[in-house]
Amino acid sequence: MLRFDSCRPRLTVASAALLLLLVSALAVQAQSRATKTTGSLPEQRTARYFESLRESPPEMFAFLKRMPKGGDLHSHLSGAVYAESYIQWAAAKGLCVNQAALSIAQPPCDPAAGKPPASTALLNPVLYRQMVDALSMRNWQYSGQSGHDRFFDTFGKFGSASFGQMLAEVSSRAAKGRVSYLEVMLTPDGPRSSAIGMQVGWDGDFAGTLNKLKGSGIDDAAAAGVKALQDAEAEMKSLLKCNTPQADAGCSVTIRYVSQVSRGAPLGAVFAQMVTGFALANDPNSKVVALNLVQPEDSLLSMQNFSLQMEMLSFLKSRYPKAHITLHAGELAPGLVPPEGLSFHIRDSVMKGHAERIGHGVDIMNEDDPYDLLKELARRNVMIEICLTSNDAILGIRKEHHPLSIYLEHGVPVALATDDEGVARSEISREYLKAAEDHGLGYIQLKTMARTSLQHAFVQGESLWADARKFIPVSQCSRDLTMTREASNSCKQYLAASEKARLQWKLEVEFKSFENGAEP
């Protein structure tokens, strides 16, 4: 019950009603100002609700799993598959298990020699759990290896699996995590380019080696890569029952490919793989949209040949100007390599290697003049692909030791990515949870990252955003995003001409729906 001092005038019913109307009017004005300056009311309400879950990580995860996330731009296809799938596929294909190495092996199988059929693992719980551990980071602390070595050693144990099987698993999981766009790293042509490169070799002559590769059939490797991806997508669609009433949600995920280059290989093979990657990514009709250097950045040949590999990229970029480049750089930590090895990889990847995005970028503050580099990354609009679980497991870099907050403070665009979710035993929603828990990011920051992922996706077409920093839409759709009605004709025409804009529009529609029903 309200009480009033007897010496003060009593509040009449009429005056109370007038006061209530005045307060309500002021509240509406305040909310209107807040909407104009800090986002929509549903967005702000959703942000407040997310903050109310801070003390309950399980509820935060449930919230984040339902949250739309745009794109996952850093995903290695073979590392994205869970160990359990590799074992099942190996058993179905009649492959074997090398019990000494706990790896999947080619037939003939010989149980007496420690090489039983892979199907044995499905009948032997002890062998099965040993295989799952060996093919992933599960229980790596008890392996006798560092997280770094355990992680990279798994890739030699997977055995053969088809691209189609792997794509089906990865796209289905992405859809469950509310990802609408994937860029998947793989080697489209398999060993072809590498074999040709080993045959041709490397003598330091860029133009001469390119001519030799062309004379040895390197263009056929690109054609083989296109055919392999077409076959893989057909198998994926069959497995997911696409275009049927039983279609898996993964069928709706847009997939593009990043051609891998094995940076730890001999120089002839590296250059040949680059040539194939550039050729594929230079074609505007190709689903291969970029190339990337993979394998441990700290390995012997990776460190020895880093600067020369940047020169290779620069030379080929001048020949294939439409190809996009994203590079692993700064996936290093103090002690992993000598201090001088930490001082230039990110800068040179951008300035010499023409990288438009950087994968990991963990050692940024160990680079020469890091604050100048941060300004340059922001000025050039180079996005950092942030892989929190991976950086924790492989490098031991986590929480305040990770530079995520530094990138944010200096206006460098960032987006969360999974890296190798199968090996790491993670998935995209857990990357978002890690960003919220370990780095204190709120809903608005996470939403910005999701939008940023599509803005920096290597997908055809103009952006939905006239200003991608402030997320101000192009004039053709400027009113449509604030309205609940169907898009105007001018906006529809703009979207029809741009796949990127259509993906971004879809994300905004998903955000509206999510924010209007975020609270249970």
The predicted structure's pLDDT at residue 480:
87
Which H, E and C letters describe 25-45, residue by residue? HHHHHHHHHHHHHHCCHHHHH
Using pLDDT thresholds of 50, 70 and 90, give the confidence band for residue 338. Answer: very high
Query: Per-residue pLDDT tens for 484-497?
Result: 567 899 999 999 99
pLDDT at 207 exceeding the cut of 90 = yes
Kind and range of the H or E run holding 302: helix 300-304
The predicted structure's pLDDT at residue 40:
78
The predicted structure's pLDDT at residue 20:
34
Main-chain dihedrals φ then ψ at residue 432, nearest 5 degrees: -65, -40
Say if residue 42 is preceded by a cis peptide, omega within 30 of 0.
no
Fold for 71-76+161-460, please state it: TIM Barrel (3.20.20)
The predicted structure's pLDDT at residue 481:
83
The predicted structure's pLDDT at residue 39:
62
Each domain of the chain, given as residue ranges in start order, spans 71-76+161-460, 85-147
pLDDT at 33 exceeding the cut of 70 = no
pLDDT at 466 exceeding the cut of 80 = yes
The DSSP result for 205-229, as a single string, is -HHHHHHHHHHTTHHHHHHHHHHHH
Give me 345's structure tokens: 């990889």
pLDDT at 30 exceeding the cut of 80 = no
Using pLDDT thresholds of 50, 70 and 90, give the confidence band for residue 143. Answer: very high
The predicted structure's pLDDT at residue 35:
36
pLDDT at 6 exceeding the cut of 70 = no
Pairing of β 324-329 and β 288-294 = parallel
How far from 379 is each of 72, 224, 372, 373, CA to CA, in Å? 23, 39, 10, 10
pLDDT at 27 exceeding the cut of 80 = no
Global pTM value:
0.91
pLDDT at 70 exceeding the cut of 50 = yes
Q: How far apart are the first and last CA of the chain?
A: 32
The predicted structure's pLDDT at residue 149:
97
pLDDT at 11 exceeding the cut of 50 = no
Using pLDDT thresholds of 50, 70 and 90, give the confidence band for residue 443. Answer: very high
Q: Are 441 and 435 in contact (CB under 8 A)?
A: yes
Query: Which residues are CB-contacts of 150 (< 8 A; sequence separation ≥ 6)?
Result: 137, 140, 143
- Spatial CA neighbour of 60 closest among 466, 432, 517, 491: 432
Length reported for the chain: 520
Query: Per-residue pLDDT tens for 93-139?
Result: 999 999 999 999 999 999 999 999 999 999 999 999 999 999 999 99
pLDDT at 16 exceeding the cut of 70 = no
Main-chain dihedrals φ then ψ at residue 198, nearest 5 degrees: -65, -35
515/517 Cα distance (integer angstroms): 5
Using pLDDT thresholds of 50, 70 and 90, give the confidence band for residue 22. Answer: very low
Q: What is the mean pLDDT of residues 453-460?
A: 98
The predicted structure's pLDDT at residue 8:
34
Pairing of β 465-467 and β 472-473 = antiparallel
The predicted structure's pLDDT at residue 63:
98
pLDDT averaged over the chain? 92
Query: Per-residue pLDDT tens for 385-432?
Result: 999 999 999 999 999 999 999 999 999 999 999 999 999 999 999 999
pLDDT at 148 exceeding the cut of 60 = yes
Query: Per-residue pLDDT tens for 260-294?
Result: 999 999 999 999 999 999 999 999 999 999 999 99
Using pLDDT thresholds of 50, 70 and 90, give the confidence band for residue 162. Answer: very high
Q: Are 465 and 514 in contact (CB under 8 A)?
A: no
Q: What is the mean pLDDT of residues 16-27?
A: 36
Q: What is the mean pLDDT of residues 61-71?
A: 98
Give me 150's structure tokens: 């355990």
Pairing of β 179-186 and β 254-262 = parallel
Q: Which residues are 115's β-sheet partners?
A: 110
Pairing of β 324-329 and β 357-360 = parallel
pLDDT at 468 exceeding the cut of 90 = yes
The predicted structure's pLDDT at residue 5:
35
328/312 Cα distance (integer angstroms): 16
The predicted structure's pLDDT at residue 160:
84
